[in-house]
């Protein structure tokens, strides 16, 4: 018998807000499940001290459902990490986080958004492509843990 996540119903509304240090246990749990080489707690804490770092999360029923960390260096932004709890994937949370962030980027005058995605992460690539990201180039053997290529993707943000 599998246990259901506490926030499993897709119809429940998401709330977006900035991350805080008190969210760290939930963020680390998602991070550790989601990536072969997860960010450390120290790395995520450092984002709170980085002036150009924007760190947002999606909550459902007061639980962290997903999060996104980006760096803004106008006129560009770089999506550093986007993760959704594995039990809550395919419910539109990643799409909603990305949409929320792209609206924010647009409002701050960002013109170009960059990101890196693993060659084998087809679900993430598909999500980014639906938002208009296109492959710019590849970084061969970029990920040290697997030797996997990174696809560098880019999107131009439409001017107002």
Catalytic residue among 116, 142, 143, 148: 116
Q: Which two tokens stand for residue 91?
A: 């419910």
Catalytic residue among 31, 47, 59, 128: 128
Cis (ω within 30 of 0) for the bond into 75?
A: yes
pLDDT digits (tens, 9 = 90+) for 113-132: 999 999 999 999 999 999 99
Q: Are 40 and 24 in contact (CB under 8 A)?
A: no
pLDDT digits (tens, 9 = 90+) for 42-89: 999 999 999 999 999 999 888 999 999 999 999 999 999 999 998 888
Q: What is the CATH number of domain 15-156?
A: 3.40.630.30
Q: Is 135 a known active-site residue?
A: no
Q: In 3D, which of 147, 86, 83 has the Cα closest to residue 120?
A: 147
Q: In 3D, which of 123, 107, 110, 121 has the Cα closest to residue 79?
A: 110
pLDDT digits (tens, 9 = 90+) for 82-111: 999 988 888 899 999 999 999 999 999 999
Q: Is 116 a known active-site residue?
A: yes
């Amino acid at each position: 018998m599998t246990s259901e996540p506490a926030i499993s119903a897709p119809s429940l509304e998401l709330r977006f807000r900035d991350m805080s240090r008190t969210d760290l246990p939930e963020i680390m749990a998602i991070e550790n499940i989601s990536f072969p080489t997860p960010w450390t707690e120290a790395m995520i804490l450092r984002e709170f001290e980085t002036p150009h770092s924007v760190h947002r999360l999606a909550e459902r029923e007061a639980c962290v459902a997903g999060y996104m960390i980006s760096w803004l260096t106008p006129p560009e932004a770089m999506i550093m990490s986007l993760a959704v709890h594995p039990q809550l994937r395919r419910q539109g949370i990643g799409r909603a986080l990305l949409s929320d962030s792209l609206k924010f980027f647009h409002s701050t005058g960002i013109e170009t958004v960059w990101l890196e995605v693993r060659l084998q992460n087809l679900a993430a690539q598909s999500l980014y492509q639906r938002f208009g990201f296109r492959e710019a180039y590849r970084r061969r053997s970029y990920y040290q843990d697997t030797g996997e290529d990174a696809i560098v993707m880019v999107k131009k943000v439409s001017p107002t």
